[in-house]
Amino acid sequence: MGGPAAPDPDGRRPRWSKDAEKYLLPHEQPPVVATRRHWAVLVVPALKALPVLAVGLWTMLLDPDNRVTATLGLVLLAGALGYLALRGGEWWMRHFIVTNRRVLLTTGIVVRTVALLPLRRITDLTYKETLLGQLLGYGTFRFESAGQQQALSEITYLPHADQMYRRVSDLLFGGDGADSGDDEGNPEPSPRSPRRPEPGGETGGRRDTAPVPPQPQDP
């Protein structure tokens, strides 16, 4: 999680590094956070598919010589397995990436979709961790921004969410974080920088004069 796109121990590069190279801008630093969602996101699809798998298997074994029940059981099994494969593929291909400038969420298997939110537009960050999330190690981020990016308003099942919260908070409120430049990463001019002198040696605009001495009052 985070850091440059270093190869895995088996020599293969992590899947998120391909998204990082493809969608990050040249001036963006390597991702501070780069991860897919926690495996617990697959629990609900598995619980939905298990009864269908059981019914399909039972239907196939009920009367193997009956082509109708055998075909029906095979269709149920194929449908449940296809549903699980689709949910597993979505989990594998979805990545949550945070750089020093933006929050990105890449989704899709055949058609890739990238939702992004500049860090400077985030007005509030809420971190929620349920009891089950504390046991399994995942949490939820809720972003609030002026633009209301619906695709990034809430990211669920984030692994190691407590560590991510500290890293993202450091980006939002740290000295080198989102407030150190504009949305494109260009540094903003310092408010203390002197004005550029105009031709003629004057700073332009207003010209200050010496204070007027006090006038003597009549007795």
Domain boundary assignment for the chain: 31-176
pLDDT at residue 128, as a whole number: 92
* Segment 140-151 mean pLDDT: 76
The mean of the pLDDT values for the chain is 79
pLDDT tens across 50-104, in order?
999 999 999 988 888 888 989 999 999 999 999 999 999 999 999 999 998 899 9
- What integer is the mean pLDDT of 145-159? 79
Higher-confidence residue of 184 and 100: namely 100
* pLDDT score for 41: 95
Per the model's pLDDT, the better-predicted residue between 147 and 23 turns out to be: 23
Fold of 31-176: PH-domain like (2.30.29)
User: What is residue 96's predicted lDDT score, i.e. its pLDDT?
Assistant: 93
Which distant-in-sequence residues (6+ apart) come within 8 Å of 36 by Cβ?
15, 16, 91, 92, 94, 95, 96
Question: According to the model, what pLDDT value does residue 194 have?
Answer: 47
Q: 101: which residues sit within 8 A by CB, 6+ positions away?
A: 25, 27, 28, 118, 119, 178, 181, 183, 185
Label residue 17 by pLDDT band (50, 70, 90). confident
The answer on pLDDT for 212 being more than 80 is: no
C-alpha–C-alpha distance, residues 108 and 184, integer Å? 26
| Confidence at residue 156, expressed as pLDDT on a 0 to 100 scale | 93
Amino acid residing at 177: G
The pLDDT of residue 153 is 86
- Structure confidence at residue 24 (pLDDT): 85
Between CA 73 and CA 54 the distance in angstroms is 9
